């Protein structure tokens, strides 16, 4: 059995714990739990807490180094599990290798179930895994909702978010949708033709004859709907 220590040197003052203190913590914990010293140390420096373990220099080496029967020790779970989604990936990766992860602040192995002669408790590993699965779903849902809300606000402000530029509009240098004067005149013509009871197909034919604009009857309908939405947004 190899004991692998992971030391995280935070650049932020509030998260920083001196390297010697961490080494002593890991060594004491290893001797108490396994009656042996730490075999290998991976010392992570200049990596943010939000960065996934696999994308960190020493974190990647640690994950590649682990084998079946190894035990990874870290003082704080937050130093190695940057988010619920990332924690789920790390724990599943270590569990697949049958490598234990001991976070001193949690007090036990959280990557693989402990072997127990009497099944009184399932141990923390499965409980942590289920907790992280739930948190990961919440995290993804909140993230998706935040993105959707942000896009909605930008759209209301006229910000161009990509895709085809709507007929009647163009993208300014600031990335905002602004009126295209020529196409707006055509939209006004479409509105008038519709008020005169012309069908979408009839309007499409007149656009081709009068403005050399090739638009399907469905395209005409969408232009009218989009223009109506813009007017409603302006009123609000």
CATH number for the domain harbouring residue 116: 3.40.50.1390
What pLDDT shows up at residue 134? 47
Shared-domain flag, residues 64 and 121 = yes
Does 77 map to a domain? Answer: yes
Shared-domain flag, residues 125 and 14 = yes
| Exposed/middle/buried for residue 17 (C-beta within 10 Å: 0-12, 13-18, 19+) | middle
Shared-domain flag, residues 27 and 124 = yes
Q: Write out residues in the chain with pLDDT < 70, as ranges.
A: 14, 113-163, 231-236
What pLDDT shows up at residue 166? 81
Q: Select from 87, 121, 138 the last residue of a domain.
A: 138
Number of domains in the chain: 2
Given a contact cutoff of 8 angstroms between Cβ atoms, the answer to whether 43 and 59 are in contact is no
Does 144 map to a domain? Answer: no
Shared-domain flag, residues 40 and 109 = yes
Shared-domain flag, residues 90 and 191 = no
What pLDDT shows up at residue 44? 94
Does 105 map to a domain? Answer: yes
What pLDDT shows up at residue 70? 94
What pLDDT shows up at residue 118? 35
What pLDDT shows up at residue 109? 79
Shared-domain flag, residues 106 and 198 = no
Does 27 map to a domain? Answer: yes
Task: List the 108-109 sheet strands across, edge first.
Answer: 40-45, 3-9, 71-74, 100-103, 108-109
Range of the domain at 114: 3-138
Shared-domain flag, residues 105 and 52 = yes
Does 30 map to a domain? Answer: yes
Shared-domain flag, residues 74 and 125 = yes
Q: Select from 121, 138, 155 the last residue of a domain.
A: 138
């Amino acid at each position: 059995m190899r004991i692998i220590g992971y030391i995280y040197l935070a650049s932020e003052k509030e998260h920083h714990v001196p390297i010697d203190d961490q080494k002593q913590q890991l060594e004491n914990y290893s001797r108490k739990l396994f009656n042996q010293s730490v075999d290998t140390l991976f010392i992570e420096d200049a990596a943010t807490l939000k960065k996934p373990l696999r994308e960190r220099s020493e974190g990647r080496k640690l994950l590649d180094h682990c084998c079946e029967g190894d035990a990874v020790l870290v003082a704080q779970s937050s130093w190695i599990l940057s988010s619920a989604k990332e924690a789920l990936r790390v724990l599943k990766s270590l569990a697949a290798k049958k490598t234990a992860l001991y976070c001193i602040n949690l007090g036990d192995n959280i990557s693989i179930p402990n072997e127990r002669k009497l099944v009184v408790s399932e141990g923390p590993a499965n409980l942590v895994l289920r907790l992280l699965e739930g948190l990961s779903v919440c995290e993804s849902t909140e993230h998706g909702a935040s993105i959707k809300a942000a896009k909605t606000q930008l759209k209301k402000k006229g910000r161009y978010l990509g895709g085809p530029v709507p007929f009647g509009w163009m993208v300014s240098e600031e990335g905002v949708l602004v009126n295209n004067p020529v196409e707006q005149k055509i939209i006004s013509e479409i509105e008038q033709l519709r008020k005169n009871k012309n069908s979408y197909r009839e309007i499409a034919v007149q656009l081709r004859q009068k403005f050399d604009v090739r638009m399907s009857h469905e395209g005409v309908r969408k232009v009218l709907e989009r223009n109506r939405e813009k007017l409603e947004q302006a009123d609000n």
